[in-house]
Amino acid sequence: MLIESRRRAYLTAMQVVNWLPRTELPFAAPSRPELLETPEPMDIEPVVTAPVARTVAEPMAPVVERPKVEVPRPSLASTRTNAKPVEEIVEAPPKAPYVAPPRFALQLLRAGRCLLLVELPTGEPFQSRDPAYLLLKDMLRAAGLPDSPQIIGEPVRWPLLSRGTMDQGPEAARDFVQGFVSARLEDEPCVCLWLIGLPAVKFAGEVDAQAFNRELQVEGLGSAWALPGLELLMETPQRKADVWQAMRRLMARWKESNE
């Protein structure tokens, strides 16, 4: 059996205000008499509903079917031609292939009215007893020039930097060498620039080995003479004859300037 307080809580939750037990509950308070009276039934008046007015449906007008208009469907060809153009994919231009920087060492000297841009065979400055330097002195004496040339500045060594992102390719080397020689020519001009060795011929004269023993006209540098390198002349003595023949054709130019 439920406790009275809990029973009342359940009834209150179900919104039951008045209630009577089926049997007499032990220890329960007596029921109130007014709750035991049966209420009389209430007279409920019948609800009269108003008659619904009948409406006569008017005959509907016949529906006139509209003629079907055939819409031409686009053909496969038209859909291809009228389709929106596909955006072209612009590919990035291919990167230029990496070109390793050239490696060389050049020394600029002055002998009379001539400048000499000479390849250093060992990469180091000339020593008085170096075979290449002795050969150069012999060539100057044969040309009628002072055999003790004056060294101008430090050797030009390329590449300039061992590391870094600076462009040190062939074009950069050419611009640097030509700029270096051009600056020395502004200090004191010369009548002929000797380019001795392939690096001097290539990066100052902008020609290759095919131009050996020829006179060149280099923009910004003037008249130049392309010669094989000193080391190449020592290894192939037969080349000295070609150098001597070319020297005889050009000798009058600097001899006149020395008189």
Residues of the chain with pLDDT > 90, as a percent, come to 53
Q: Are 230 and 197 in contact (CB under 8 A)?
A: yes
**Would you state the pLDDT for residue 211?**
95
- Candidates 139, 147, 152; CA nearest to 110 is 152
Whole-angstrom Cα distance, residue 185 to residue 220?
Answer: 9
Whole-angstrom Cα distance, residue 246 to residue 214?
Answer: 7
Q: Is 137 helix (H, G, I), strand (E, B) or coil?
A: helix
pTM check: above 0.75: no
**Would you state the pLDDT for residue 160?**
86
- Candidates 98, 104, 126, 101; CA nearest to 201 is 104
Tokens of 256: 């006149």
**Would you state the pLDDT for residue 56?**
47
Q: Is 90 helix (H, G, I), strand (E, B) or coil?
A: coil
Q: pLDDT tens, 51-81?
A: 544 544 455 555 556 666 566 665 555 555 5
Q: pLDDT tens, 233-249?
A: 999 999 999 999 999 99
- Strands in 145-197 per DSSP E: 150-158, 192-196
Tell me the backbone φ, ψ of residue 61, rounded to 5 degrees: -70, 140
Whole-angstrom Cα distance, residue 106 to residue 177?
Answer: 9
Amino acid at residue number 203: F
